[in-house]
Amino acid sequence: MNYLMQVVETAAQPALTMRKTTSMGEMPKLIGEIYGSITKYILEKGEEPIGPAFIAYYNMDMDHLIIDVGFPIQHIIEGSGEITLSSVPGGKKAIGFHKGPYDKVGLLYEQMTAWLSREGYRPTGVVYEYYYHSPEEVDSSELLTRVEFLLS
């Protein structure tokens, strides 16, 4: 599969997130709970998310993933408990889109990593995945995921 990839410059984006350490096997259950908690909190504050849900990956240790799970927001909303006001960093990013099952997104990672190396870009190690649909909304073949590598 060939992917469209590009480098873009973005502004920082306020977000409400929850940081967790988890295993890949525990993620599906954990993620659903977190998205539900954050969505409920945003709605209670009279706001709505302004973009798709995301996960920021700070490492790739599949047994001890350090992640931020959240939503971009338009207005500053103070956090509460485990929900924190944070920011998706601005700056230079490499982006690519994957359409299809989540378990195949690794193909995009492989191609992006090779492309970035060929083009001389240096990823910081932090990767964001944005999820435009959920498996409850569309068939797995229609899932759209945007992957962003932060660049140094």
8 A C-beta contact, residue 6 and residue 71: no
Closest CA to 56 of 151, 104, 145, 128: 128
At 110-131, the pLDDT tens digits run 999 999 999 999 999 999 999 9
8 A C-beta contact, residue 72 and residue 14: yes
Distance CA 45, CA 28 (A): 26
Mean pLDDT of 65-73: 98
Helices (H), the chain: 27-44, 106-119
What is the domain count for the chain? 1
In the chain, count H helices and then E strands: 2, 8
Q: What is the pLDDT of residue 39?
A: 97
Q: What is the pLDDT of residue 16?
A: 98
CATH of the domain at 137: 3.20.80.10
> What is the residue whose two structure tokens read 């709505």?
48
Residue 146's domain comprises 5-151
Q: What is the pLDDT of residue 14?
A: 98
